Amino acid sequence: MRASSRAILEVSLVFSAVIGVCKILDHLRSVPWVARHDLVALGAACLFLYVPLAVLHTGKRKPQDFGITLSGFWTSLRMTSVFSVLFLPPFFLLYSLYRTVWFHGSLHLTISPDWTLLLAYHLLCVALPEEVFYRGYMQSRLNMALPGRIRLFSASVGFGWFYTAFLFAFGHFLITHHVERWATLLPGLLFGWLRERTGSIVAPTLFHAICNGAVLLVA
């Protein structure tokens, strides 16, 4: 089997295993002690964080070669700031249309007293584990086996960038089976571009958390 085929198969199998267990965990939400201790979210975070690290350890691969590093932190922070200024205004507009026009829902801009705590939760328990899994392990693994790239706004992207964003959206859809979860494809592409542009998962992790925090303001 060719290296590219092996990489696609490996990534797809790891994705299927992790999302499959997450789906099982999601069915346990009705169990009182599971819901009380938020074990579904904790279990999912552990899977996204430790499964790829275990795969890398088994293959004797270094996490820093997969962008799982703080190297270039300040460059990533500046890039995150630029992205926030550029994309948060149109994000609010598109999300407003998405909520009110497509799904006929209501839209209220409110700041919860617990917003900063929720933002920290989304940073450490949602964005970081998902970025380690998708943009760290998955996108990097595919890039190594499928080197063909194109230049897109000063970043070199390829099949791994798009396939990772597709699986990111597909995974969200598989958990809830709500068609609107496919909307995560666009931010997935942005997170992946940041990974390629900066060379690490720091920028996509920070921007991922900021996007989630923005949704908390209007959801």
Give the whole-angstrom CA distance, residue 169 versus residue 171: 5
> Bigger pLDDT: 94 or 133?
133
Q: Is the pLDDT of residue 155 over 90?
A: no
Identify which of 174, 195, 182, 218 has the alpha carbon closest to the alpha carbon of residue 26.
174
- C-alpha 122: how far from its chain's center? 11
Neighbours of 45 (CB within 10 A): 20
| Cα end-to-end distance, the chain, whole Å | 46
- Residue whose pair of structure tokens reads 């700041």 in the numeric block: 111
* Beta strand pairing call for 149-152 and 155-158: antiparallel
Summarize pLDDT for 178-212 with one digit per residue, the tens: 887 888 898 999 999 999 999 999 999 999 999 88
